[in-house]
Amino acid sequence: MSEKLIHLTINHMPVEVPAGTRIIEAAQSIGIDIPHLCYHPDQSIKAHCRMCMVEVTGQRKLLAACSTLVWEGMEVITDSKRVYDAQVGVLDLILADHRQDCLSCSRNNNCDLQNLCRRFNRLKPDLPDVSSQERPRLDNPSIVRDPSKCVKCGRCVKVCSEVQGIGALSFTGRSAECKVTTAFDLPMNETDCVLCGQCTLVCPVGALTEVDHTSHVRHALHDSSKHVVVQIAPSVRVALGDDFGLEPGALVTGKMVTALKMMGFEKVFDTNFSADLTIMEEGSELLHRIKKGGRLPMITSCSPGWVNFMEKHHPELIGNLSTAKSPQGMFGAVLKTYYAQRMGWDPKDIVSVSVMPCTAKKFEATRPELGRDGYQDVDVVLTTRELAKLIRYEGLNLAALPESEFDAPLGTGSGAGAIFGNTGGVMEAALRTAYELYTGKELPKLEFEAVRGEVNGIKEATIDLDGTPIKVAVVNGLKNAETLIRRVQNGEADYLFIEIMACPGGCIGGGGQPIGTNNAKRQARIKALYELDQNLPLRKSHENPDIQAIYREFFGEPLSHKSHELLHTDYAPRPKRYDFSPYIEKYRKFLPQK
Amino acid sequence: MKPFAKKLTELTPEMVSLVDEIIASHDGDATQLVGILLDLEAAVERHYIPEPAAYYLAERLEIRPTQVYDVISFYSALHDKPRAKYTLQVCDSAPCRVKDSDTLCETLQRLLNLEVGEVTYDGRFSIEKVPCFGACDVSPAVRVNGVVYGHLDSEERIVNMLQQLD
């Protein structure tokens, strides 16, 4: 079916776009960026902010460019006096209700509202400040809310309910009282929030941001009595470049390592290494469960947003989760035991830093299970955005830096470890190892294209383990995860292994990635990680020589007593705010049978 | 997570059956949320939506607690904090003002020793100013839990009205 094309003009320039295009997108196609705050390419239309008002010939009123579809012969003007006056009026009103302490805002120089002010040359607003006097709310280890900065665009509300299916944030109140908050204005950790941080990724201003831990790292680096060691997650290397103006998906591994070494980290290691370790444990666990009749389907446990979701909303699945720690957790444990012994360091003198694409990882690092003898395995978690801030502080031009290698021995990662960063990657990595461990034969083709998922989707496949078919599913985005879980629980699907990542696209689209991450950039990053895997000589976790060495020297074999002690964990249901279970039984019989 | 324990006890079996009853009277239809909340508020002694009841309602209707709170906070007729058993709503629109509703309001404040928006220490009375509730023919008037008391143009009548509430 050929798409119907619509012809219109924007500022007298002829434009041809498919039917169903919105004015704002048609303008983008010829390089005009119509001012906007609430519009987001991956979200449904809200038309809240009214910044994108444009003039359409023949129309009495200005129209919102984000919500108006183009029609044949439409004449759009985006820069008339009427449009300018309307847009500046809206901008002034938004500014009047926005606490303007840009200099101390974590989004300074990276803010959609600031950009608009610069664009409209609105240096000193005419209206008095009527912004909320509420103070920033720091009630969890991952996300800060600053209601006085909120511009009520509703992007966070949309991403939380439409993509993640959580609905922890919502508009409340009306008119001047309107604000975005949780049910009954509760602290976020007491709500359904799983700390995935997708809200911090779409917020156009500084109303929702990650908890900043950069100063912790700087203090540690200035303390000469400490061994400051850093690990970097697979997905950071294809996203960090975004923050420095490189093209989406640019691979900056070597430059990033140089930057970290220049900052003074004693050792720069790769989370890809512990991703390989995770695969050894998780792959072995899967085979163990299949052979010994353990609980199936087994579900991955690398994504802390997903783990939080499971503990809060589906505690009945605790037995299905792989007990293997996440790569971050495994790395921390290895660093403070195996590596500390090897180097003759006291674990208490090690500051273990991790750079993650994720806000929920900050919470994960505080879990009491992930530590021993009074210390945590990971002391500070930085998001990709915070790493970019440290690089800026250091005054480094990332693009111009030379390339360096990770330190040995915890710096060797296989291609299988690299693709942990995107949806379908953990599955593919596990299958590569499980196949060879299970069959004892060499895998004829390394790429499992059938499990290479799409951004914000569900993918299922049947993989042939040399005669034994195993059904698997790959899902990203928690709303999709909920759909899949219902399917499994209703007996509509019988998978053996499920990979769940909380964020759309997996970690490459995580809540800690650079501002401006959208689905198009997610695709570019996924492509970059698969290319990275393709170009590595080492592409299977169990063939990683450093992994083989650590099993030889320290753990013995996967699922050994020692690895259970250090590399596995357990989960616990997290109490909901109210427990209705005694009452729910009563009305269950009235519910329609699903 | 500890502070939850205290809150848990607030959802009494009586509250559960009340919510169940109201939901049943609305055929369990989540689109009737506003009506359900109004009924609930009318039935709760202090005329508000207690937090655990809102959470239970959300669970029963299979919607998010945030959606319930969104609706409660949107409508001025719905409340998320305890009000008085008797909220004296004084009309603040022009016809009642013409008939000197200001004196009515001041008298109520003096008799009850109460500011507008406050609740008496025993939780029995509060005074609210509200827009017209259609009782211009008997103004100045107050509305208490849906019942209109009109012609309150003397202290005697006002005291009489208050005594009827006991």
Distance from CA of B85 to the nearest CA of A (A): 22
What pLDDT, in 10s, does the model give residues B97-107? 888 889 999 99
Q: What is the mean pLDDT of residues A254-280?
A: 96
Q: Give the mutation candidate from A156, A175, A577, A594 for the B interface (greatest B CB count, under 10 A).
A: A577
Half-sphere exposure of A445 (CA within 13 A, CB side): 6
Mutate to test the interface with B, among A158, A170, A181, A311 (most CBs of B within 10 A): A170
Catalytic residues of A: 282, 285, 302, 322, 361, 364, 369, 507
Predicted confidence (pLDDT) at residue B8 exceeds the cutoff of 60: no
Q: For residue B88, is pLDDT > 70?
A: yes
* Contact assessment for residue A382 and residue A366, using Cβ atoms and an 8 Å cutoff: no
Report which of A167, A84, A75 is spatially closest to residue A120, judged by C-alpha positions. A84
> Would the pLDDT of B10 be above 70?
no
Structure tokens at A408: 């040995």
Rounded to whole angstroms, the maximal C-alpha distance in chain A is 79
Token couple for A174: 């009306």
CB within 8 Å: A577 and B4: yes
Least CB–CB distance from B66: residue in A170, A173, A574? A170
> Among A58-67, A458-467, B5-14, whose mean pLDDT is lowest?
B5-14
Residues in contact with A592: Cβ distance below 8 Å, sequence separation at least 6, in sequence order: none
Q: Rounded to an integer, what distance in angstroms lies between the CA atom of residue A233 and that of residue A235?
A: 6
pLDDT score, position B5: 33
Res B1: pLDDT:
30
- Section A47-71 average pLDDT: 96
For residue B126, report the phi and psi dihedrals to the nearest 5 degrees.
Answer: -150, 160
CA angle, A581 then A586 then A591, to 5°: 100
Burial class from Cβ neighbours inside 10 Å (0-12, 13-18, 19+) for residue B18 reads middle
In this structure, are residues A408 and A389 in contact, taking their beta carbons and an 8 Å threshold? no
What is the per-residue pLDDT across A107-151, written as a single tens digit (0 to 9) for each? 999 999 999 999 999 877 778 888 888 999 998 999 999 999 999
**How far is residue A535's CA from residue A354's CA, in Å, rounded to a whole number?**
25
Q: Is B69 on the interface with A (CB under 8 A)?
A: yes
Which pLDDT tens digit goes with each residue over A160-173?
Answer: 999 999 999 999 99
- Encode burial over A339-348: b for 16+ CB neighbours within 10 A, e otherwise: bbeeeebebe
User: What's the per-residue H, E or C state across A387-414?
Assistant: HHHHHHHHCCCHHHCCCCCCCCCCCCCC
The confidence score (pLDDT) of residue A126 equals 77
d(CA A121, CA A391) in angstroms, rounded, equals 29
Is the pLDDT reported for residue B51 higher than 50? yes
Mean pLDDT over A549-563 rounds to 93
Torsion of CA B33, B39, B40, B45, to 10 degrees: 160
pLDDT over 80 at A493, yes or no: yes
Residue A395, CA distances (Å) to A240, A381, A391, A406 in order: 15, 21, 6, 22
Bridge partner list, A461:
A472
Phi-psi region of B150 (alpha: psi -120 to 50; beta: other; left: phi over 0): beta
CB within 8 Å of chain A, chain B residues 76-105: 80
pLDDT at B9: 46
Q: Round to whole Å and give the CA distance between A72 and A65.
A: 16
Q: How far is CA A343 from the centre of its chain?
A: 34
B1 contacts chain A (CB < 8 A):
yes
> Does the pLDDT value for residue A586 go beyond 80?
no
* A137, A146 contact by CB (below 8 A): yes
Say yes or no: ipTM exceeds 0.90: no
CB distance B59–A177 less than 8 Å? no
Query: Å from B137 to nearest chain A CA?
Result: 31
pLDDT at A242: 93
B7–A577: do the CB atoms touch at under 8 Å? yes
pLDDT of residue A438: 87
Q: For residue range A346-365, what is the model confidence (pLDDT) as tens digits? A: 999 999 999 999 999 999 99
- For the segment A521-549, the average pLDDT, to the nearest whole number, is 94
Has residue B7 got a pLDDT over 80?
no
| Predicted TM-score of the model (pTM) | 0.90
Which of these ranges, A161-165, A466-470, B19-23, has the smallest mean pLDDT? Answer: A466-470
- Residue of A577, A476, A57 whose CA lies nearest to A235: A476
CB contact under 8 A, B4 and A190: yes
pLDDT surpassing 70 at residue A588: no
Stretch B38-59: mean pLDDT: 91
* pLDDT tops 80 at residue A204: yes
B75-85 confidence digits (pLDDT tens) = 988 998 888 89
- A427 sits in which H/E element: helix A425-439
- pLDDT category of residue A318 using cuts at 50, 70 and 90: very high
Q: Where are the alpha helices (DSSP H) in A135-252?
A: 155-158, 198-202, 214-222
Q: Which amino acid is at A265?
A: F
pLDDT for residue A593: 44
Residue A90 structure tokens: 């809206």
What are the tokens at A160? 């939380």
Residue A423 clears pLDDT 50, i.e. is over it: yes
Q: What is the pLDDT of residue A592?
A: 47
Distance CA A178, CA A157 (A): 13
As a whole number, mean pLDDT of residues A257-268 equals 96
Q: Which residues of A touch B (CB under 8 A)?
A: 161, 167-174, 177, 182-184, 190-192, 574-575, 577-580, 583-584, 586-587, 590
Q: Please state, in angstroms and rounded to a whole number, the distance separating the CA atoms of residues A231 and A253.
A: 12
Cβ-Cβ contacts under 8 Å, A580 against chain B: 11, 55-56, 59
**Between vectors from CA A359 to CA A418 and to CA A158, what angle results, nearest 5°?**
105
Lowest mean pLDDT among A121-130, A233-242, B104-113, B156-165: A121-130
Question: Which of B52, B55, B67 has its CB closest to that of A170?
Answer: B67
Q: Do A359 and A143 touch, CB atoms closer than 8 A?
A: yes
CA–CA distances in Å: residue A219 to residues A81, A105, A225 = 52, 21, 11
The torsion angles phi and psi of A16, rounded to 5 degrees, stand at -125, 115
B142 — pLDDT class (breaks 50, 70, 90)? very high
Q: Inspect the interface and report whether the beta carbons of B66 and A169 lie closer than 8 Å.
A: yes
User: Rounded to whole angstroms, how far apart are CA atoms A230 and A268?
Assistant: 5
- Judge: A192–B65 Cβ closer than 8 Å, yes or no: yes
| Closest among B59, B57, B10 to B38, alpha carbons compared | B57
Identify the helix (H) or strand (E) that includes residue A352.
strand A350-356
Task: Give A2's pLDDT tier (boundaries 50, 70, 90).
Answer: low
Q: What is the mean pLDDT of residues A42-57?
A: 95
**Mean of the pLDDT values across residues A449-454?**
85
Kindly state the tokens that stand for B140: 């100045």
DSSP state of A337: I
3-state secondary structure of A388: helix
